[in-house]
Amino acid sequence: MNDRKVRRRRRSSNGFVDILNGLLTLLVLGLLVAGGIVLYGASQFYGEGPLTAETTFRVEAGSGLSSIGPRLEEQGLISNQYIFQVGSRVANIEGTVKQGDFRIPAGASMADILRELIEGNPIRYAVVIPEGWTAWEAVQRLNADANITGEISTLPAEGSILPGSYDYVPGDTRQSVLERMQAAMTSELAAVWEARQPDLPLETPEQLLVLASIVERETGVATERPQVAAVFVNRLREGMRLQSDPTIIYGITKGQGSLGRGLRRSEIEAQTPYNTYQIDGLPPTPIANPGIDSLKAVANPDTHDYLYFVAKGASPREGHVFAETYAEHQDNVAQYRRIAAEAAAQAEADAEAARQALEAEQAGEAPAAE
- Summarised one tens digit per residue, pLDDT across range 57-92 is 999 888 888 889 999 999 999 999 999 888 888 877
Write the pLDDT tens digit of every residue in 253-288: 999 988 989 899 999 999 999 999 999 999 999 999
pLDDT of the residue at 130: 97
What mean pLDDT do residues 38-65 have? 85
pLDDT value at position 317? Answer: 84
- Residue 269 to residues 242, 263, 277, 333, 337, Cα–Cα distance (Å): 14, 10, 7, 20, 21
> What pLDDT does 370 receive?
45
Spell out the domains of the chain, with CATH numbers in brackets. 55-119 (3.30.1490), 129-306 (no CATH)
